[in-house]
């Protein structure tokens, strides 16, 4: 599927350091490339049933920053992202609003593309709709059946059977690791809150996730080798990441609401399919709140990128406001954030268009910016480095203006 228009990224002389990022699986920063000169990034994409909110924007911006830091360090980056264009929340929204689910998905994907473009987010090389991969996913599920990882559960409201993944069948390379291990009670609660069905009768373990939903009247379905139906959620990301990037990928990314069960189960599926870990590292962004609650399509407390742009916001200021927070923190958006980012940007613009100051400090600032971004995407530190240069009389050399663009994605001047 078509992604979106790539922003230009200037070449900056020299290279930044090899980035380290916090890996949820081990609970500390790591170089996920493990010495390789190639980096394969998979980021969980949107479920297209409502507009891009600031939480989504912040998450894709964090991985955009990682992509920029890798490129600046001289890596070849391959990036894949899915879009969950068939799933319960989308079908429920389409039914509620009396619109066709495919039309709803197409229109929301279009909006998302426009928002990503406005924010100058680097597009994935492979932007993959789940509806285009159903056969491949079914093939993988058939393999899991043959190898004993998948089992069927009686499904009275369908001619076929739903298929589930047996979480207790051991695999060598499963799991994000001890740091993400949760107690069973928490896993059951999170599973129920995040698309799972721990109370479904007939499962071997309440935590077993759905791999395949057999066709139901009035629901979309595909004819496949595991019967008519549609894929469950986690398997889509395991299959798409493995097919497009090869396992293990360098980084599996998404918001922290995906740590469990989504990334845990995707890793389990990958281990069962390929006897490989899904990823070298699992990187998670914090949750952004508004008016005291996590911003969420289902809660409806949305601050959308489109809304801010329609109100006249400079997209660079939205970017700068988001970059002023640490990607891994949970934080709350206040209405004043945009105004303060807009003021900061005006100062940076004025500085970049003036020619005064000491040019000999500029190289140090370039190095400092690179060091901050490569250090677990410390964008607040990078923003502070620019502030210090602006306030301290460093001259805005072309290399300095370019590194702000290359790493922070903001063209000033
Ligand atoms: N389609 C699945 C992933 S396969 C999905 O989670 N879609 S989503 O539309 O609900 O979310 C898209 C991305 O935005 C996910 O990485 C999610 O973790 C992230 N996200 C959602 N809400 C927030 C928030 N409030 N703050 C930060 N990131 C968020
Ligand atoms: Zn995903």
Read off the tokens for 197: 């069905």
Ligand nearest to the CA of 270: 2
Q: Is a pLDDT exceeding 80 seen at residue 170?
A: no
Provide CB contacts within 8 A for 78, sequence distance 6+.
Answer: 38, 39, 40, 41, 125, 126, 244, 245
Kindly report which listed range (185-199, 223-237, 292-306) carries the lowest average pLDDT score: 292-306
- Residues whose beta carbon lies within 6 Å of some atom of ligand 1: 44-47, 55-56, 58-59, 82, 84, 237, 254-255, 257-258, 285, 287-288, 294-296
| 353 shares a domain with 275 | no
Residue 60 located in a structural domain: yes
* Of 257, 282, 285, 330, best ligand 1 pocket probe by most atoms within 8 Å of the beta carbon: 257
Q: Check residues 180 and 155 and name the one with the higher pLDDT.
A: 155
Q: Is a pLDDT exceeding 90 seen at residue 357?
A: no
391, 46 contact by CB (below 8 A): no
What tens digit of pLDDT does each residue of 16-56 get? 999 999 999 999 999 999 999 999 999 999 999 988 899 99
| 355 shares a domain with 283 | no
Residue 379 located in a structural domain: yes
| 267 shares a domain with 389 | no
Residue 122 located in a structural domain: yes
Locate the ligand 1 atom nearest the alpha carbon of residue 87 and give its number. 1
Mean pLDDT computed over 122-128: 98
pTM of the model: 0.97
Nearest-angstrom CA–CA distance, 213 and 196: 12
Residue 324 located in a structural domain: no
Q: CB 225: neighbour CB atoms within 10 A?
A: 11
Residue 243 located in a structural domain: yes
Residue 113 located in a structural domain: yes
Among the listed residues 67, 65, 64, 69, the one whose alpha carbon sits nearest the alpha carbon of residue 77: 67
In terms of residue numbers, what domain contains 402? Answer: 336-408
| 251 shares a domain with 181 | yes
Using 50, 70 and 90 to split pLDDT, how confident is the model at 405? very high
Using 50, 70 and 90 to split pLDDT, how confident is the model at 177? low
How far does the centroid of ligand 1 lie from the alpha carbon of residue 297, in Å?
9
| 402 shares a domain with 259 | no
H/E stretch holding 364 reads: helix 362-374
Q: What is the percent of the chain where pLDDT is above 90?
A: 90
Q: How many separate domains does the chain show?
A: 2
Q: What is the CATH number of the domain that holds 386?
A: 1.20.120.640
Q: Is a pLDDT exceeding 70 seen at residue 300?
A: yes
DSSP 163-175: EEE-TTS--SS-S
Q: What is the CATH number of the domain that holds 93?
A: 3.40.50.620
* Of 92, 105, 252, 255, best ligand 1 pocket probe by most atoms within 8 Å of the beta carbon: 255
| 387 shares a domain with 238 | no
How far does the centroid of ligand 1 lie from the alpha carbon of residue 296, in Å?
9
The predicted pLDDT at position 38 comes to: 97
Mutual angle of helices 54-72 and 101-118, in 10-degree steps: 50
Mean pLDDT computed over 214-232: 97
Q: Is a pLDDT exceeding 60 seen at residue 205?
A: yes
Residue 363 located in a structural domain: yes
| 349 shares a domain with 276 | no
Closest C-alpha to ligand 1, atom 28: 55
| 139 shares a domain with 49 | yes
Nearest-angstrom CA–CA distance, 116 and 119: 5
The predicted pLDDT at position 173 comes to: 67
The predicted pLDDT at position 176 comes to: 59
Using 50, 70 and 90 to split pLDDT, how confident is the model at 180? low
Residue 213 located in a structural domain: no
Nearest-angstrom CA–CA distance, 24 and 387: 31
| 284 shares a domain with 345 | no
Nearest-angstrom CA–CA distance, 307 and 108: 14
| 372 shares a domain with 268 | no
Closest C-alpha to ligand 1, atom 3: 44
| 244 shares a domain with 346 | no
Q: What mean pLDDT, rounded, does the chain reach?
A: 95
The predicted pLDDT at position 17 comes to: 98
| 404 shares a domain with 348 | yes
Ligand nearest to the CA of 45: 1
């Amino acid at each position: 599927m078509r992604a979106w228009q790539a922003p230009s990224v200037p070449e900056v002389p020299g290279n930044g350091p090899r980035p380290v990022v916090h890996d949820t699986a081990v609970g500390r920063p790591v170089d996920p490339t493990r010495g390789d000169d190639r980096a394969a990034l998979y980021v969980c994409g949107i479920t297209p049933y409502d507009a891009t909110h600031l939480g989504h924007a912040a998450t894709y911006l964090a991985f955009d920053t990682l992509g920029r830091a890798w490129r600046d360090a001289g890596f070849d980056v391959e990036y894949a992202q899915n879009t969950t264009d068939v799933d319960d929340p989308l079908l429920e929204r389409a039914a509620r609003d009396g619109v066709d689910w495919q039309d709803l998905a197409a229109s929301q994907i279009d909006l998302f593309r426009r928002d990503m473009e406005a924010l100058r987010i680097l597009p994935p090389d492979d932007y993959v709709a789940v509806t285009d991969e159903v056969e491949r996913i079914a093939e993988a599920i058939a393999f899991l059946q043959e190898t004993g990882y998948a089992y069927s559960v009686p499904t009275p409201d369908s001619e076929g059977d739903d298929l589930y993944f047996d979480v207790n069948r051991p695999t060598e390379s499963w799991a994000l690791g001890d740091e993400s291990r949760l107690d069973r009670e928490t896993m059951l609660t999170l599973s129920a809150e995040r698309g799972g069905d721990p109370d479904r009768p007939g499962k071997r373990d309440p935590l077993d996730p759905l791999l395949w939903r057999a066709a139901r009247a009035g629901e979309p379905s595909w004819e496949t080798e595991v019967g008519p139906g549609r894929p469950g959620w986690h398997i889509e990301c395991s299959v798409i990441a493995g097919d497009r990037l090869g396992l293990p990928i360098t980084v599996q990314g998404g918001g922290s609401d995906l740590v469990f069960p989504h990334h845990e189960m995707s890793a389990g599926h990958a281990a069962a399919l390929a006897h490989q870990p899904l990823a070298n590292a699992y990187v998670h962004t914090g949750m952004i709140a508004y008016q005291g609650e996590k911003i969420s399509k289902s809660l409806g407390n949305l601050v959308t990128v489109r809304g801010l742009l329609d109100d006249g916001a400079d997209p660079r200021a939205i970017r700068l406001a988001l970059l002023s927070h640490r990607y891994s923190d949970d934080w709350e958006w206040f209405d004043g954030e945009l105004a303060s980012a807009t003021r900061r940007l005006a100062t940076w613009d004025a500085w970049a268009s003036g020619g005064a100051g000491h040019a000999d400090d500029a190289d140090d600032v370039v190095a400092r910016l690179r060091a901050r971004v490569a250090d677990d995407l410390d964008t607040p530190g990078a923003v502070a480095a620019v502030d210090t240069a602006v306030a301290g009389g460093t001259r805005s050399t072309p290399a300095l203006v370019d590194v702000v663009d290359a790493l922070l994605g903001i063209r000033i001047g």
